[in-house]
Structure 1
Amino acid sequence: MNAEETLQSFYAAYDAAREFDPKHPEDGVLSRKRDGLPPKPLNADETRACVSLLENGKRTAEALNLLLNRVPSGTGDAARVKAEFLERVVLGVLTADGLSPEDAVEHLGRMRGGWNVPVLISLLKNDKTAPAAVRALSRLVLIHRSVRDVADLCDAGNPHAKALLQSWARADWFSAREPLEDETRLVVFKIPDEIEASTDFLSHSKGGHTRTDVPFHGKHYFMNAEMLAELNALKARFPDIPVALAADRIGTSSSRKSGMNNVEWNIGIENADTRFQPDKKTRAVIFAGRVLGPIFAKTAQDMGSIIVRTDTGVLKTGDVVRAVWRKGEILDDSGKLAATFAPLSRRELDYLRAGGATLFRMGRILTQTAAEILGESPELPYAVETPDDVERPMT
């Protein structure tokens, strides 16, 4: 197929009815479009088709929108095609309507990690592109062994590589991010006390075959149809206020990651971390009562969401509250104290500022490595973890 045919096939798949599966009748037969779901992320062939259209000046706005917004970051083939395309734009080998070389560097930096990293490091060798590459790389923490490539450039006398190592050693990736706000206004969705919101309730095991498709799994295998309809009605009623999920018993059982994926998809928010990341949301808020599964809580922390233990008996669906994170207070909309929780610790606040405990720890390792390479010991902008704090992420 040529590029236009490939793109037409992508849209046809989005609008195609789902074949009925008697083993999984809950999947339904609606197309993704009629089901209110986004299209699936682009695969490598579809990404190449978008690049081809841009190269030939055809359907440029449409192709660029798909390329920037529907390609997963990481080490997949589609991400590689996207990173190589952006590199060509940065170097002036290719021009694309609506995308300047400066914008292309910015988008490379927003790919979080994977194929974008070696491209950005290669741009350090060009004095014209290096300053923007330093800015983009200084915000990333998923660098892994590529830090050694930067160290080699520094040893060879590259001043941009040295500036990048100094930025990592100062933990600019952390200090450049906004801290968690003092308080967050939320609307409560309460799971009835008689229901144990186990991870199998949050991510039904019978839908295990769809867990990699977060939007689909989050719609068809989260809670139950009646409660999900009630949740969606609440979100429509309060479109500008994030939802907090409240449950007396939550997070027991073992499907912690898919359970949190469904929670974040249904009540999480979109922010700078999720922009240009297909099917990603973050910063879900959960008020847990008497029972909270420890590995579920750990996974939420790793992913950048917030769980606090409180008296959920005083909360009901539709309550508008304010969570005052550093004081440990839940206030009703008039400012009256409704419930309390343990104030978030400095460490928990640092995790949230970094985008989650996993990203914080990856960044901390990067900062330590860069400082060792430079032989420096800069003052750190975050709380230094004690050995008891450093646990292996459970995600």
Structure 2
Amino acid sequence: PLPLNANQTKELCKLLENENNEELANLLENRVNPGVDDAALVKCEFLDSILKGKISAPNIDKKRALRMLGTMLGGYNVKVLIDALKDENIAKDSAEVLKNIIFVHDNFHTIAELSKNNPHAKEVLQSWANADWFNKKEKLPQVIKCIVFKVAGETNTDDLSPAGDAFTRSDIPLHANAMLKVRQAGSLEKIKELKKSGREVVYVGDVVGTGSSRKSAINSIQWHLGKEIEGVPNKHSGGIVMGST
């Protein structure tokens, strides 16, 4: 299914105020696009109201609200988290969340100004300076046991994201079904079969990625070979590709 739109998110938030339903809370946590999507704004405003005590939701306390904001990458969530730095009851938890968010744009100056009198804001700046958000990421293993999915010759971006299916590109899981359908029929079934080995499937080709630069081509490869991203619907991250460019 597609991520929730703004109207759906509004209705979901109304339900969350009145119902003790973990399934609904999970929808808000994992089925709303992050960043500056219209639905993300609705989600942030709802969580901001919880943090400020204006409303309550049985399944979402302030700590969980902050965790949800922390998976939204950047955008509308940043101002909410900065406001939380000014509330001593939740400032420490908000700072821990902000340390892992780097898409703050001009809000950096707001935090820098706040840090003159706010130790939590100063702690966030120091953490960014130390690159803690990067250093805490999982290290690349010395050895990765893989199984090869081979596409001989050259793979161009139209093979991975066919122009004939351009109308589905906004729906990544749906569009990913078209990957290699012309170039090498049966590829997706082969990938599923290889995954049964328990090893990571690596895409191998002589030349990979020629043609116009298409984010949708990468999205398709990552959908089939990558891993889920916490709090981000219909996108995967990671995956290994080997080949000349």
Q: TM-score, normalised by structure 1?
A: 0.59
Match of 1:108 in 2: 69
Match of 1:244 in 2: 202
The one-letter code of the counterpart of 1:54 is: L
Match of 1:279 in 2: 234
Query: Is residue 98–residue 124 contact of structure 2 (8 Å, CA) maintained in 1?
Result: yes
Q: Could you tell me which of 107, 119, 125 is aligned with 2:80?
A: 119
Offset, 1:144: 0.9
SS of 2:234's equivalent in the other structure is coil
- For structure 1, which segment, 245-254 or 108-117, has the greater mean C-alpha deviation from structure 2 after superposition? 245-254
Offset, 1:103: 1.4
Report how many aligned residue pairs link the two structures: 242
Q: Could you tell me which of 60, 64, 72 is aligned with 2:33?
A: 72
Offset, 1:175: 2.1
Q: Could you tell me which of 182, 191, 212 is aligned with 2:170?
A: 212
Match of 1:8 in 2: none
- Identity percentage of aligned residues: 39
Offset, 1:68: 0.8
Whether 2:126 is the aligned partner of 1:158: answer no
1:147-296 matches, cutoff 5 A: 147-155=108-116, 157-191=117-151, 193=152, 195-219=153-177, 221-224=178-181, 225-235=185-195, 237-238=196-197, 240-270=198-228, 274-288=229-243, 292-293=244-245
Instruction: Kindly name which structure, 1 or 2, has the bigger radius of gyration based on alpha carbons.
Output: 1
Q: TM-score, normalised by structure 2?
A: 0.93
Q: CA RMSD in A?
A: 1.6
SS of 1:281's equivalent in the other structure is strand
The one-letter code of the counterpart of 1:183 is: V
Offset, 1:55: 1.2
Whether 2:12 is the aligned partner of 1:50: answer yes
SS of 1:52's equivalent in the other structure is helix
Higher strand share: 2
- Taking the aligned partners of 2:159 and 2:146, their CA distance within structure 1 comes to 23
SS of 2:210's equivalent in the other structure is coil
Query: Is residue 61–residue 97 contact of structure 1 (8 Å, CA) maintained in 2?
Result: no
- Taking the aligned partners of 2:82 and 2:26, their CA distance within structure 1 comes to 25
Q: Map Cα deviations across residues 96-129 of structure 1 (whole Å, 9 max, x no partner).
A: 2332211111111111101110000011111111
The one-letter code of the counterpart of 1:51 is: C
- Taking the aligned partners of 1:169 and 1:286, their CA distance within structure 2 comes to 32
- Taking the aligned partners of 2:179 and 2:77, their CA distance within structure 1 comes to 34
- Taking the aligned partners of 2:206 and 2:130, their CA distance within structure 1 comes to 42
Structure with the larger RCO, 1 or 2 (CA within 8 Å, 6+ apart): 2
The answer for unaligned runs of 5 or more in structure 1 is 1-38, 294-395
